[in-house]
Each structure stands twice: as C-alpha cells, then as structure tokens.
A and B are shown apart, each in its own frame.
Chain A
Amino acid sequence: MNANSFVSIYDVSKEKIIELLESAKRFEENPNQNLLHGKIVATLFFEPSTRTRLSFETAVNRLGGRVIGFSDASTTSSSKGETLKDTITMVSGYADLIIMRHYLDGAARYASEISPIPIINAGDGSNQHPSQTMLDLYSIFKTQGTLENLNICMVGDLKYGRTVHSLLMALSKFNPTFRFVAPEELKMPLEYKIFCDNNNINYSEHTDLMEVINEADILYMTRVQRERFIDLMEYEKVKNCYILKNKMLDHTKENIKVLHPLPRVNEIETDVDSNPKAYYFQQARNGVFARQAIICDVLGIK
C-alpha cells in the first residue's frame, strides 16, 4: 500500500487543497518543467475517457515524463478475466506512478491498497473523480480570487452527477452558499442535504434557474445524461428544462463564470461560448495544471 495515492476528494484537507491550487498556479505560469525526467507513468483506462486521459498525458509530457498504458480495456488481459489486483501488481513493477480510470466504484481505493507505487484516481465508476474536482476548484479560485464565501449555483443532474457531489464536499470547507437547481427527478440526494445541515451550510433548492441566477458567482452546469434514465419518457420530459441561453446571463453578476465538466450536449447554447462569462473551455485547459500539481504531489516532488 502506498500512502501518497490520490483516491478520494474526501481524503484531501483544506490546507492540501490550497497547496495544490497554488502549485497549479505555478504550473500555469510555467507549464514546461522537467520534473518527471526519467520517470514512467502508466495510464490505465479500463473505460474510455478521452478528455481526462489526454489531460493527464499532457500533464506528464509537459513535466518531461514518459507514458505507457492503454485507453480501452477490451485490448488488455482484464478482458481475459485477469483480476485488477494482478494488473496493478504487474504494472507497478514497470512504472513509477499509475493513473487509473475504472468502471467499478471503489476500484482506485482497492488499487491503492495493493500497489507499492502511488495511484491517482482518474474516475472510479460513479463514485469519485477527484482530479476533476481539483480543476473545478482551480477554475473557481482563479476566476474569483478565492474559494471563500462564494454563491455557487449547481444546475441539471444533481442526483447522479458525481462532479457536483465531489465539488459540494470540497467547497463545504470554504463557507459557500449553494443553490441547487434541478428537476424533481434529479434533485440533490438527501445525504448531501443532511451533510449541509450538519455543517451549517446555507443552501436552497429550486426548479427555476432564473430565480437564483442573478446572485450567483459560479454557475455550474451539468449534462442530463440519457443513460441515467431507466424510463426514457422521463428523460424526454426533463432534457430541455435546464438549457442556458445567452440572454439569461444579461443581469447576472459581473464576476460570474459558467462552468461545465464537459462534454456539453445542448444544455448550454453555443452563442454563450463567446460571452466572457463562459469559462468551460478554459476550465478544461486548467485541468492540465491541476493534474501537474497532483502528479508532483503524489510523487513527493516540490
């Protein structure tokens, strides 16, 4: 087992979050640094995720490291029935760091218990995606100058949206005000509302985005995913309810930024893209710097 793994945002303290954000800022100022010279990083993607993999591989390449790995488990021995334990044990003999995406919940935690080298969780099923949370936090920090006392409006699929749950838990350390905007079927799960109650975090629930959009510092949009619905009639009913149009931003605060974990389908109209309040593409770019910070942290490189 390796104590330096980056598995769950719940393990990361407020101090560590701030340290990683400051490190990400330094990487943005100076992205090409030869800190991983001579190191091999394995990217094991048991399920495909183009953006996350390219972002991690860009981060490694900018740090001068080399990458081995696969982007689709169907070409690996796990499709022949090899256990995750055997795959991790084998790869940890080759590389200095494993960055893993897996379709099963908890796979990264288990891998970190087996592996003698650090594991970075690049998404485990519907459970955690902590590097996404770090890049969300970095985007908020960079555009607002702080993480403290912000009004965060989360929109769309708040029930299954793993990114909003992780972001909620991480921001809860910084005295936020949350506005949850979702259709009845996709409301924020009770356990997160209980968490807010227990931690004296101000929140309210809405079905109409216009009720709260003008007080928001951050508008965090998510995709209502078709594959989340058992009943496709339900999907058809709600899929167009939470679409952001450019004119909806007219009376919003000057400092507001629109974030989205991407891929976007139609929940943000394309005319929003040129609005200076839109920030989702820069947000994706920030992922490289946030991931450079995480990689150096788990390897103990200052």
Chain B
Amino acid sequence: MNKKELLVAGLQNGTVIDHIPSDRLFKVVSMLKLDTLSNPITIGNNLMSKKSGTKGIIKVTDKYFEKNEIDRIALIAPHAKLNRIANYEVVEKKELELPDELIDIVKCANPKCICNNEPMASRFDVIDKKNIVVKCHYCEKDLQKDDIVLL
C-alpha cells in the first residue's frame, strides 16, 4: 500500500456514508448513536473533497440503515452519499434526498403543540427541500434548518 495515501480499509459488508459536510460529521455520528455499536466503524473528517473543501466519511461494518435513519441523515447532511456494500461490491449508491413528509423524526419546537402533549407521532411536511424548512402538520408552524431538533 502506498503510505502517502493512508486509506481506510475497504468494507466487506456494510454502509459507507460519504460527502458529509465536515461541520456535520459528528452530529451524524451522535444521531446514529454509533457509540453504542460494537461493529467495526471507521470515521474520518476534514478529508479533502474534490467537490467542496473538506468532507467527512463514516464506514460501518455489517450495518444497513433503515429508512427512518436515512431520513434523519438527510436532514442533518443533505447531499451526503450512501453506499451499501455487499461482498466488497457497491450494491446500491444514492445521494440522500429529503422525503416530502417526516413522521416521528423531528421534534416540534412549539410546547403548546398537540404532538408534544399527547402520546402520538410528530408529523412534518418538508416545504423547502433546498433550504430545509419543515412545517408541523398539526400546529402549522415552520421550522428552519438550524432550529430542527430530532426526536
């Protein structure tokens, strides 16, 4: 191996989340609760990116994420790329995109919203995918990107 390109070992099976903005990497790590997993995990940050400045990358062995988790990643790091690896081959490659609706993912910031007072799932409509603005389906209040708190 060429030592000048210190490479992270390839995955046999698992998931690679690439092109995470550097300032969002540890948010993704904490949101996915990777600290509670015992699988081998490689985390890199502030790596050179051909596209834009620096990026972060996460590789998790033997782990495939559910839709609910993928939607959460899309909220924190839109445009990250998710690769599913099986037997050293990339079997699925996709750029994350926000869905139209987020169910039981975002916490409503309004303490007087019904969804914070009843045993029920929160529900948000994504009204601006580019700037990440969501609207509570119940109290009809908007949340901007930086005000979004995940459940």
Contacts and interface: CB of A to CB of B under 8 A. Distances in A.
Contact of B118 (A83, A103, A127): A83
Interface in A229-266: none
Nearest to A106: B138
A105 B139 contact: yes
Most buried by B among A105, A107, A110: A105
A161 interface: no
Interface residues of B, number: 16
Interface string A105-148: 11101100000000000001111100000000000000000000
A1 interface: no
Interface in B117-147: 117-120, 136-142
A84 interface: yes
B118 A125 contact: no
Contacts of B119: 83, 85
B108 to A, nearest CB: 8
A127 B117 contact: no
B42 interface: no
B120 A110 contact: yes
A106 B142 contact: no
B149 interface: no
Interface residues of A, number: 19
Contacts of B137: 106, 109
Contact of B120 (A85, A124, A126, A128): A85
A10 B139 CA distance: 12
Given A10-B140, A106-B138, A84 B114 contact: yes
B48 to A, nearest CB: 39
B142 A127 contact: no
Contacts of B117: 104
Main SS at interface, chain A: mixed
B41 interface: no
A15 interface: no
Count chain A CB atoms within 10 A of each CB in B114, B117, B120, B139 and give the residue with the most.
B114
Contacts of A106: 113-115, 136-140
Given A104-B113, A105-B112, A85 B118 contact: yes
A211 interface: no
Contact of A110 (B110, B112, B118, B142): B118
B140 A125 contact: no
A8 interface: yes
A110 B114 contact: yes
A109 B141 CA distance: 13
B114 A126 contact: no
Given A84-B114, A105-B114, A110-B114, A127 B120 contact: no
A191 interface: yes
Contacts of A105: 110, 112-114, 138-141
Contacts of B138: 105-107, 109-110
A159 to B, nearest CB: 14
Interface of B: 110, 112-115, 117-120, 136-142
Interface of A: 8, 10, 83-85, 102-107, 109-110, 124-128, 191
6 contacts: A105-B110, A106-B140, A110-B118, A126-B112, A127-B139, A191-B142
